[in-house]
Amino acid sequence: MKIVGLTGGISSGKSTVSSYFRQLKIPVIDADEVARKVVEPNSQGAIEIRKAFGSDVFEEDGSLNRQKLGALIFSNAENRQKLDDLLQPLIKIMILDEIEEYRQKGETMIVLDLPLLFEKHYEELCEEIIVVYIPKELQLERLMKRNQYTKQEALSRIDSQLSIEEKRKRATVLFDNQGTIQQLYQQVEQWLVETKNDILQ
How many independent structural domains does the chain possess?
Answer: 2
**Residue 180 maps to which CATH number?**
3.40.50.300
Q: What is the pLDDT of residue 197?
A: 64
**Strands 173-176 and 128-133, bridge-based pairing:** parallel
Cα–Cα distance measured from residue 7 to residue 167, given in angstroms and rounded to the nearest whole number? 8
Domain hosting 70: range is: 36-96
Q: Which of 53-62, 72-81, 179-188 has the lowest mean pLDDT?
A: 72-81
The reply to whether 15 sits in an annotated binding site is: yes
The residues that bridge with 173 in the sheet, in sequence order, are 130
Q: What is the pLDDT of residue 201?
A: 44
Residues 148-192: tens digit of each pLDDT: 989 998 898 898 889 999 999 999 999 999 999 999 999 999 999
Q: Which of 78-82, 123-127, 171-175 has the lowest mean pLDDT?
A: 78-82
The reply to whether 180 sits in an annotated binding site is: no
171 assigned to some structural domain: yes
Cα–Cα distance measured from residue 182 to residue 171, given in angstroms and rounded to the nearest whole number? 22
Q: Is the same domain home to 179 and 124?
A: yes
Cα–Cα distance measured from residue 149 to residue 137, given in angstroms and rounded to the nearest whole number? 14
Burial of 154 from C-beta contacts in 10 A (0-12 / 13-18 / 19+): buried
Cα–Cα distance measured from residue 87 to residue 103, given in angstroms and rounded to the nearest whole number? 24
What is the average per-residue pLDDT within 28-48?
95
The reply to whether 14 sits in an annotated binding site is: yes
Q: Is the same domain home to 78 and 15?
A: no
Q: Is the same domain home to 92 and 65?
A: yes
Whether 127 shows a pLDDT value over 60: the answer reads yes
What is the average per-residue pLDDT within 9-38?
96
Q: Is the same domain home to 69 and 119?
A: no
The reply to whether 43 sits in an annotated binding site is: no
The reply to whether 156 sits in an annotated binding site is: no
pLDDT classification of 198: cutoffs 50, 70, 90: low
The reply to whether 160 sits in an annotated binding site is: no
101 assigned to some structural domain: no
Q: SS3 sequence, the chain?
A: CEEEEEEECCCCCHHHHHHHHHHCCCCEEEHHHHHHHCCCCCCHHHHHHHHHHCHHHECCCCCECHHHHHHHHHCCHHHHHHHHHHHHHHHHHHHHHHHHHHHHHCCCEEEEECCCCCCCCHHHHCCEEEEEECCHHHHHHHHHHHHCCCHHHHHHHHCCCCCHHHHHHHCCEEEECCCCHHHHHHHHHHHHHHHHHHHHC
The residues that bridge with 8 in the sheet, in sequence order, are 132
Question: Rounded mean pLDDT of the chain?
Answer: 93
Strand order through the sheet with 2-8: 28-30, 109-113, 2-8, 128-133, 173-176
Q: What is the pLDDT of residue 160?
A: 82
Q: Is the same domain home to 162 and 196?
A: yes
Q: Is the same domain home to 77 and 13?
A: no
Q: Is the same domain home to 21 and 42?
A: no
Whether 35 shows a pLDDT value over 60: the answer reads yes
For residue 155, give the nearest of 170, 169, 136, 173 by alpha carbon. Answer: 136
Angle, helix 14-23 to helix 181-200, in steps of 10 degrees: 60
